[in-house]
Structure 1
């Protein structure tokens, strides 16, 4: 589970990224999730865009993809979904430490 500080940091990193996957009118499927899992292992942080012809709610799609891929849902803004998952082999992003009170 990501803290607010970590999500803020990831959002700042994701700001300059372009979406590498699109969810269309067919919605999500196993094929899309498999490609997202492969990409997120390599990149750690990705954006997914939901096309206008998709009738599903982008927030629901974000939750669905995050659960299916084992990633963390960082943000859903408009029709753009930001996902993060720490890579096992290609760790590039160092998250801020979670502070406990």
Structure 2
């Protein structure tokens, strides 16, 4: 559990203001599946709100301490039924690079790119010739309009 400076805590409280609770802790307390969900949420978002139902203030304080100790997180704020917790995102192990190079399905080669460009040019020419054939018919202006002179 890392300690936050008052300035860091103030900044995190401001950032958490618009957040909705992502996890609700109810009668079962910190069950393993609840801890796992909080772990996933911290990894994804770093800063989360947790809603606690049916517990008194002292129980919520103890729950906050147990939660932060278990997940190596920092308590930001405890206000009413809402706990705000922060933990820096942990680095995930990256997959080993593939040494064997396989052709990617649907990958563009120089030959297919040239064929695509030629097809695009043909389509543009066909469109232009179709538009040139559609000449608007001129409206004749005979003196027999609906306006009386």
- Could you state the TM-score of these two structures normalised by the residue count of structure 2? 0.56
Task: Give the number of equivalent residue pairs.
Answer: 89
Distance 2:5 2:78 in 1: 16
Largest Rg, 1 or 2? 2
Gaps of 5+ in 1: 91-101
1:1-101 correspondence runs (5 A): 1-51=3-53, 53-54=54-55, 57-89=59-91
Stretches (4+) displaced over 6 A: none
* Larger RCO (CA within 8 A; separation ≥ 6): 1
Distance 2:28 2:60 in 1: 13
Please give the root-mean-square deviation of Cα atoms over the aligned residues, in Å. 1.7
- Secondary structure at 1:63's aligned position in 2? helix
